[in-house]
């Protein structure tokens, strides 16, 4: 939570967090609200929000539970992120890219994609909506990550691999072959678990 607080505070005045698992009412001087649906449905028109949730499925579920259509979803891209030529942020809503990440060329990033610390995203990669890429993951050229897929910390996805929607790649896995939708893989080389 503190990392996201720092990221947000560089761009916006942070007014609060919503987290149904935090017992404290204040973290780092910022109020914490526990009822996600109620809190977000009552936000004033034009309020900016960020879904800083690593779990792809939970992030998508929370987004779908928000009944307030006047909320704005800015992209939060840390100033240390290197973005090279022709990277496209599809509709450009709610994308979070953390410090130390490099996006090379020809990349497409879908809404609410989350790329964590120190990742490398190779040429012509496609990150569909709600994709999560955890710290230190490396995606080689031509990789496609389907909607709500989750790439664990330190995973390596080799050239032209396709990760199906709602699939999970375990931490440290080396993925050489396509991963079917709704599948979990782990290991070196990655196999279904």
Per-residue pLDDT tens digits for 128-179: 999 999 999 999 999 999 999 999 999 999 999 999 999 999 999 999 999 9
Separation CA 8–CA 23 (nearest Å)? 22
Q: Which residues contact 68 (CB under 8 A, 6 or more apart)?
A: 40, 41, 42, 43
For the chain, the residue count is: 193
CA atoms within 13 A on the CB side of 97: 24
Q: Is the CB of residue 76 less than 8 Å from the CB of residue 90?
A: no
Its pTM stands at 0.86
CA distance 4 to 180: 32
Name residues of the chain where pLDDT drops below 70. 1-13, 15, 20-24, 27, 35-38, 40, 67, 90-91
180: its two tokens: 């079917």
């Amino acid at each position: 939570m503190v990392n996201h607080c720092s990221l947000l505070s560089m761009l916006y005045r942070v007014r609060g967090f919503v987290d149904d698992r935090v017992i404290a009412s204040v973290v780092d001087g910022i109020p914490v609200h526990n009822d996600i649906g109620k809190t977000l449905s009552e936000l004033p028109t034009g309020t900016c929000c960020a879904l800083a949730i690593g779990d792809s499925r939970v992030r998508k579920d929370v987004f779908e539970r928000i009944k307030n259509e006047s909320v704005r979803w800015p992209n939060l891209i840390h100033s240390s992120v290197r973005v090279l030529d022709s990277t496209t942020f599809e509709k450009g809503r709610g994308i979070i890219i953390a410090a130390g990440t490099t996006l090379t060329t020809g990349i497409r990033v879908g809404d609410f994609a989350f790329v964590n610390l120190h990742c490398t995203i190779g040429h012509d990669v496609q990150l569909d909506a709600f994709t999560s890429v955890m710290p230190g993951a490396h995606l080689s050229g031509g990789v496609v990550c389907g909607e709500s897929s989750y790439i664990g910390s330190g995973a390596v996805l080799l050239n032209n691999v396709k990760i199906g929607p709602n699939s999970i790649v375990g931490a440290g896995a080396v993925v050489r072959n396509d991963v079917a939708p709704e599948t979990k893989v782990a290991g070196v080389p990655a196999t279904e678990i």
